[in-house]
């Protein structure tokens, strides 16, 4: 074999030299593209739970989270609503495990454990969650939230190693704390439509029915604070006046009011409306069959069971006499809330339940008028049990 010439030796060495630099360059590029970037967070909505029906906003982080020495750390995330104000408004949590200490403001806290100086998040990792159906924003609906996520020592919210922010838009279903008074006034106005419709159900307004509506409205005004009460009084008195005017003109319809009440996010809005209707129905001391039919139609449109309606009405109709449109006694079925078209077995069960309920109330009731009312109901149950035996 012939020995390599000088030129051949130089060329081989040059090839190894080029290979070395090529490999080093590849390694440098790989390390640059794979080294951790700055700490960053993002949010995304996902569905979880056994039935996949729990809405969750997952808060994820990646990037540099280094510490100088091995340390137990946690991730804390809080949020502000920036939909209307750049400096943000508080997000209130209804879950005790997602609150700042001694506060109702939302806070998600998740322990990570021991973090070493050379560790980082290469891929996205969940560091917190927000449950949209368990927080209250200034208003309901689509809201823009700004999330701040920080890494702190475990059990210490005062020292922050690293933090950053991101924003996302999510649907908040619960009634907002800035719109509660407004929504309350709306629900009361809709209830007034129903109460006035009951009052005019027999074609005329009795003074006692008008008084029942005024007393109920006065009681509801007490829910508002001193700052809001004057506005609420003016707005609701105007709404009541408008309802009366439409009723007298024969243009008062309740279909829209019922639909809006059913969709209302105000707690007890439906029950309040049925309470007012029951009070008005019994205010003149006479429960007309037409009024009772109207009340039950309201309950049906509002999605309230007949039994639940009966429980609401029973609190307010004691002492009133039930009559049919022809001034004869109202049917026992209507009085107890029994559908005569139902299967006999269903009627018998309903009568057993009614007897147990009214007998228990009779035994514990001290008021004479209410005792008489419950006794009338028990007498009606007895007649019906004989009828459907």
Q: pLDDT digits over 27-58, tens only?
A: 444 444 455 578 999 999 999 988 899 999 99
- Among 17-21, 191-195, 377-381, name the most confident range: 191-195
Q: Which pair of tokens denotes residue 145?
A: 């939230």
The share of the chain scoring above pLDDT 90, in percent, equals: 48
How far is 40 from 127, CA to CA, in rounded Å?
Answer: 11
How far apart CA 119 and CA 109 sit, in angstroms, is 20
Q: Which residue has the tokens 């005024």?
A: 214
Q: Between β-strands 162-172 and 141-153, what pairing exists: parallel, antiparallel or unpaired?
A: antiparallel
- Range scoring the smallest mean pLDDT among 26-40, 69-83, 98-112, 320-334: 320-334
The CA distance from 260 to 239, in Å, is 15
How confident is the model over 124-143, as a mean pLDDT?
95
- The alpha carbon dihedral of 16, 21, 27, 29 has a sign of negative
Among 69, 74, 62, residue whose Cα is nearest residue 120: 62
- Pairwise CA distance, residues 167 & 146, whole Å: 4
Which of these, 112, 117, 127, 148, lies nearest to 62 by C-alpha position? 127
Query: For residues 302 and 184, what is the distance between their CA atoms, to the nearest angstrom?
Result: 17
* Backbone angles phi and psi of 151, in degrees to 5: -105, 125
* pLDDT value of residue 251: 92
By CB neighbour count within 10 A (0-12 exposed, 13-18 middle, 19+ buried), where does 61 fall? buried
Identify which of 257, 110, 80, 265 has the alpha carbon closest to the alpha carbon of residue 184: 265
Residue 150 pairs in a beta bridge with 76, 163
Highest-scoring range by mean pLDDT, 27-31, 64-68, 181-185, 318-322: 181-185
Closest CA to 143 of 130, 155, 152, 162: 130
- Can you tell me the mean pLDDT for 298-324? 75
Q: Which residues contact 222 (CB under 8 A, 6 or more apart)?
A: none
Q: Which of 150-154, 202-206, 208-212, 269-273 shows the lowest mean pLDDT across its residues?
A: 202-206
> What strands lie across the sheet with 54-64, from one edge to the other?
40-48, 54-64, 120-130
175-to-182, 183, 187, 194, 300 alpha-carbon distances in Å? 10, 8, 13, 23, 25
Pairing mode, strands 286-288 and 321-323:
parallel
CB count within 10 Å of CB 234 equals: 10
Whole-number Å distance between alpha carbons of 200 and 192: 12
The strand pairing partners of 164, in sequence order, are 149
The pLDDT of 11-30, averaged and rounded, is 52
Q: How many whole angstroms separate alpha carbon 377 and alpha carbon 317?
A: 12
Q: pTM of the full predicted structure?
A: 0.55
**pLDDT for residue 362 is more than 70:** yes
DSSP secondary structure code for residue 106 in this structure: B
pLDDT per residue as tens digits for the range 170-226:
999 888 988 888 999 999 999 999 999 999 876 677 888 889 999 999 999 988 888
Of the pLDDT bands very low, low, confident and very high (cuts 50, 70, 90), residue 112 is very high
């Amino acid at each position: 074999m012939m020995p390599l010439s000088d030129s051949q030796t130089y060329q081989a060495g040059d090839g190894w030299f080029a290979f070395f630099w090529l490999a080093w360059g590849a390694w440098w590029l790989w390390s640059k593209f794979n080294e951790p970037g700055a700490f960053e967070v993002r949010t995304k909505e996902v569905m979880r739970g056994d039935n996949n029906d729990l809405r969750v906003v997952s808060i994820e982080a990646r990037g540099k989270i280094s510490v100088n020495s091995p340390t137990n750390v946690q991730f804390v995330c809080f949020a502000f609503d920036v939909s209307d104000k750049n400096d943000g408004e508080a997000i209130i949590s209804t879950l005790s495990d997602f609150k700042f200490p001694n506060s109702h403001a939302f806070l998600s806290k998740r322990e990570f454990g021991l973090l070493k100086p050379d560790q980082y998040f290469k891929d996205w990792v969940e560091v917190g969650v927000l449950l949209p159906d368990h927080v209250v924003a200034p208003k309901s609906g689509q809201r823009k939230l700004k999330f701040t996520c920080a890494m702190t020592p475990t059990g210490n919210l005062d020292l922050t190693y690293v933090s950053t922010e991101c924003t996302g838009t999510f649907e908040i279903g619960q009634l907002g704390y800035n719109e509660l008074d407004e929504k309350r006034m709306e629900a009361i106005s809709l209830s007034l439509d129903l109460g006035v419709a009951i009052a005019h159900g027999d074609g005329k307004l009795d003074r006692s029915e008008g008084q029942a509506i005024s007393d109920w409205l006065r009681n509801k005004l007490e829910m508002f604070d001193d700052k809001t009460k004057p506005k609420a009084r003016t707005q609701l008195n105007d709404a009541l006046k408008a309802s009366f005017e439409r009723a007298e003109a024969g243009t008062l319809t309740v279909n829209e009011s019922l639909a809006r009440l059913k969709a209302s996010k105000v707690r007890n809005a439906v029950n309040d409306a049925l309470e007012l209707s029951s009070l008005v129905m019994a205010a003149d001391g006479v429960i007309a069959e037409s009024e009772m039919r109207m009340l039950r139609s309201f309950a049906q449109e509002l999605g309230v069971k007949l039994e639940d309606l009966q429980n609401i009405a029973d609190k307010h109709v004691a002492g009133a006499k039930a009559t049919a449109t022809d001034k004869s006694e109202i049917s026992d079925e209507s009085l107890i809330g029994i559908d005569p078209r139902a299967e006999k077995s269903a009627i018998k069960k309903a009568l057993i339940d009614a007897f147990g309920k009214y007998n228990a109330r009779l035994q514990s009731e001290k008021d004479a008028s209410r005792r008489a009312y419950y006794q009338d109901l028990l007498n009606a149950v007895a007649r019906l049990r004989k009828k459907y035996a």
